[in-house]
C-alpha cells in the first residue's frame, strides 16, 4: 500500500469509491464536487491509498478558518474519508488517517476536525469528541411573529459577495467570542453562493442561506451580529409560513432565535457530533483565544504517539496563550485528552474517562482558560 497525492486523472476512481461508501451523487452535485476538489489537488490536500495502480481509499483536507474564543486560526477539516468495500479491514483507513494527520501538520495547521461515520478509528489517531452541529425544528409561524426592531438593509447575495461574507464572519464570531464555527475559504464560498436552489441575503453584520426542503424550509447558515439583524433575518425566513409549516435550522446551542420565539415547550434538537485533534500543542495554544480576565499557568504533559509528545508550561494572560517546553511533571493527558480539554471538556470529565491523570493542582486553571461551548453551523 502506498500513499500518493491525487491528481485530476484519479477523480473518476475517487467518485467510484465515494459512491460505494456514501451512495451516488446527482449530476449537478458531481459537477460541483469536481469544481470544489480541484484546488485541494493543487495544494496537496487530497490523499489516496493505492494498491499498485488501484485506488483503495481517499481523504480530503478542507482548508478552513475556525474560531476559538473569538480568535480565528487555520484548521484542517477532514472530509470524504472513503475505503473500497473490498479493502476494508486491511488497515487502509488507519494508514490513510495517519498520512492525513502528518500532511495537515506539514501544511501548517495546528488543529483539525471531522464528522465521524464511526469513532474508533479516529480515536485511535488522536481525535476526540468536542462539539456538535445542532439542528432545531421550529414552527415557521413562530419565526414570522419575530418583529424586526429596526431598519436593517438586506440584499440578495451571490458569488461576488464571498469576500464580504467572510469579513462578516470574522467580525461576528470575534465579537461573540465564539468557539468551534468555521468558514470556508473565499473560492469555496464563491462556489456555494452560486447554488441556484438557495436563497441568500446579506446584511452589514449578518447573512442567511436557506432553501426549500420538501414542505419545510431549511436554514443552512444564519449569522447575525446585532439584535436588529437577527430579528430581520429570522423574520425573513418566517415569511414562508403561509406554505412551510416548519423550519429546520442549524444554530448555536445558545442561538438568540431560541429566545426570540415565543414558544419553546416542545423543541427538537438533532446533533451531528464532530471530533477534534490538536496537531501541534505549542502552535494551537498560541493561536487560540482565551477570556481576557484570566491569568494563569499550568504544566501539562501530552502523549502523542503520532506527532511526538512532551511537557509544556502553558501561560495565559490578556486573552493570549504562550508555551514553554519544560522537564517538570504536571497534568498528564493523551493527545485525545488534550484535544478535548482545548475544546472545553472539563478536567473532571477527562479524569473520570481516563484521558487525564497526574498532578491535579492545575485543573481549575485549565478549566477556566479553556472553557468553551463549541459548535458548528456547517457540516462537511
* 80 in the same domain as 181: no
* 179 in the same domain as 244: yes
316 part of a folded domain: yes
- Residue 263: predicted pLDDT: 85
Domain boundary among 243, 270, 297: 270
- Asked if 94 contacts 57 with a C-beta cutoff of 8 angstroms, the reply is no
Tell me: pLDDT of 337 over 80. yes
Q: Write out pLDDT tens, residues 367-376.
A: 999 999 999 9
Tell me: pLDDT of 169 over 90. yes
* 232 in the same domain as 296: no
- Residue 95: predicted pLDDT: 97
* 155 in the same domain as 102: no
- Residue 73: predicted pLDDT: 98
With residue 103 as reference, give the H or E element that holds it. helix 92-106
Grouping H, G, I as helix, E, B as strand and the rest as coil, residue 187 is: helix
317 part of a folded domain: yes
* 7 in the same domain as 110: yes
Burial call 160-198: b when 16+ CB within 10 Å, e when fewer: ebbeebbebbeebbbebbbbbbbbbeeebbbbbbebeeb
Domain boundary among 270, 297, 313: 270
Cα(89)–Cα(98) distance, integer angstroms: 16
Query: 379 CB contacts (<8 Å, ≥6 apart)?
Result: 115, 133, 250, 272
Find the domain containing 239 and state its range.
134-270
Give the CATH number for residue 357: 3.30.1050.10
* 103 in the same domain as 14: yes
Tell me: pLDDT of 297 over 90. yes
Domain boundary among 79, 102, 126: 126
Instruction: Tell me what the pLDDT averaged over the chain comes to.
Output: 96
Tell me: pLDDT of 20 over 80. yes
- Residue 148: predicted pLDDT: 87
Q: Write out pLDDT tens, residues 25-63.
A: 999 889 989 999 999 999 999 999 999 999 999 999 999
Q: Write out pLDDT tens, residues 199-224.
A: 999 999 999 999 999 999 999 999 99
The three cell numbers locating residue 114: 471531522
Count of the separate structural domains present in the chain:
3
266 part of a folded domain: yes
379 part of a folded domain: no
Amino acid at each position: 500500500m502506498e500513499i500518493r497525492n491525487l491528481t485530476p486523472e484519479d477523480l473518476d476512481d475517487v467518485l467510484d469509491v465515494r459512491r460505494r461508501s456514501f451512495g451516488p451523487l446527482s449530476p449537478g452535485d458531481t459537477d460541483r464536487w469536481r469544481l470544489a476538489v480541484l484546488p485541494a489537488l493543487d495544494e496537496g490536500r487530497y490523499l489516496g491509498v493505492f494498491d499498485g495502480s488501484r485506488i483503495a481509499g481517499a481523504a480530503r483536507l478542507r482548508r478552513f478558518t475556525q474560531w476559538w474564543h473569538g480568535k480565528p486560526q487555520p484548521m484542517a477539516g477532514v472530509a470524504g474519508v472513503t475505503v473500497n468495500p473490498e479493502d476494508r479491514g486491511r488497515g487502509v483507513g488507519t494508514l490513510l488517517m495517519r498520512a492525513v494527520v502528518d500532511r495537515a501538520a506539514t501544511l501548517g495547521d495546528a488543529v483539525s476536525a471531522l464528522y465521524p461515520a464511526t469513532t474508533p478509528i479516529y480515536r485511535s489517531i488522536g481525535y476526540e469528541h468536542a462539539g456538535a452541529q445542532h439542528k432545531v425544528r421550529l414552527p415557521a409561524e413562530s419565526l414570522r411573529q419575530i418583529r424586526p426592531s429596526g431598519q436593517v438593509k438586506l440584499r440578495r447575495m451571490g458569488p461576488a459577495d464571498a469576500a464580504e461574507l467572510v469579513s462578516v464572519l470574522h467580525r461576528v464570531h470575534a465579537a461573540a467570542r465564539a468557539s468551534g464555527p468555521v468558514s470556508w475559504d473565499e473560492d469555496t464560498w464563491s462556489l456555494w453562493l452560486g447554488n441556484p436552489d438557495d436563497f441568500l441575503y446579506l446584511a452589514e453584520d449578518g447573512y442567511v442561506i436557506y432553501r426549500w426542503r420538501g414542505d419545510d424550509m431549511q436554514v443552512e447558515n444564519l449569522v447575525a451580529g446585532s439584535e436588529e439583524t437577527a430579528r430581520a433575518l429570522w423574520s425573513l425566513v418566517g415569511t414562508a409560513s403561509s406554505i412551510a409549516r416548519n423550519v429546520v435550522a442549524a444554530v448555536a446551542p445558545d442561538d438568540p432565535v431560541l429566545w426570540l420565539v415565543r414558544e419553546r415547550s416542545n423543541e427538537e434538537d438533532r446533533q451531528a457530533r464532530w471530533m477534534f485533534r490538536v496537531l501541534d500543542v505549542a502552535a494551537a495554544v498560541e493561536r487560540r483565544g482565551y477570556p481576557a480576565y484570566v491569568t494563569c499557568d499550568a504544566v501539562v504533559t501530552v502523549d502523542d504517539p503520532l506527532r511526538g509528545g512532551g511537557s509544556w508550561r502553558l501561560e495565559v494572560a490578556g486573552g493570549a496563550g504562550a508555551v514553554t517546553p519544560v522537564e517538570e511533571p504536571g497534568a498528564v493527558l493523551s493527545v485525545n485528552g488534550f484535544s478535548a480539554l482545548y475544546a472545553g471538556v472539563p478536567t473532571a470529565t477527562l479524569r473520570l474517562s481516563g484521558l487525564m491523570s497526574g498532578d491535579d493542582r492545575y485543573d481549575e486553571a485549565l478549566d477556566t482558560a479553556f472553557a468553551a461551548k463549541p459548535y458548528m453551523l456547517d457540516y462537511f
